[in-house]
Amino acid sequence: MDLTQIISKVFLPLSLAIIMLGMGMTLVPDDFKRIFKYPKAILIGLTNQLILLPIIGFLLAILFNVDSILAVGIMILASCPGGPTSNLITQVCKGNIALSVTLTALASFISILLIPFIISFALNYFGSDTGATIKLPIRDTILQIMVITVIPILLGMIIRNYKKNFAKRMEKPMRIASTIIFILVFIAVLASSSDKIVIGMKAAGLATLLLNITTMALGFYTAKLFKLDLKSSISITIESGIQNGTLALVIAASVLNNPEMGIPIGAYAIWMFITGGILMWHFGRK
């Protein structure tokens, strides 16, 4: 295992879990009760992520006449849920963390059911049917959500309940740590996929950039259209545009056995870190 693999497979998941622990220390059970009592924000967020995102990805792949294999890669990405990175960015942007965590968890579970249908459609439409049976790593996906996100957040909430002053003191250091972790994740992505990123930018750079910007803008303005507060609008914006690239790469390389489909995923990863960084800078300093 080289240094890049150690960073991406050991250090980053551990660091993200610690950040989720810090997020948990900013939350109380009432934060989640409010969301489910007034579920409008959840419905808007899930609609953007699970329905509108794949439609936009499909239309952009056609509009830019993307190569069939790369078009399927775009659809794989568009069908994937958000990941822990979206929660991290939401924290720094001072968005609604409880909403972000809820959307990530719900979208992840629902996506497990939707992804096979979306990818099967993409393979048939773009003429790249590999004949592979699409069987997702359901257990691994659920474990990732539980270990990196749910369990640390629950532990953080327990700490908040019994050590309220300590939890409040840790809010600012954890936000700074989140920014540092975000930068490290970005560097790890560059180091591990530099060759794919260069190729991806040439082949599908503009299409993936527009996918990222369009979905984020749609997330923000649909939230505003339905009169959600700024914190919830920030969360939906980020959840709409920050996808679980790791899961997308697993589907492309392992499930469909076609690493070339991961090329646009690498390009999108760069765009989402750039736009995520801009949002962190804009909202984090307010």
Q: What is the per-residue DSSP string for 234-254? A: HHHHHHHH---HHHHHHIIII
DSSP 8-state symbol, 146 = I
The pLDDT tens digits for 140-162 are 656 666 677 778 878 888 888 88
- What the block records as the tokens of 259 is 């690493």
CATH number for 3-21+30-144+173-280 (one of 3.90.550.10, 1.10.3720.10, 1.20.1530.20, 3.50.50.60): it is: 1.20.1530.20
Per-domain residue ranges of the chain: 3-21+30-144+173-280
Give the integer Cα–Cα distance in Å for 134 and 119. Answer: 8
State pLDDT tens for residues 197-244.
677 677 677 888 999 999 999 999 999 999 999 999 999 999 999 887
Evaluate if pTM is beyond 0.95. Answer: no
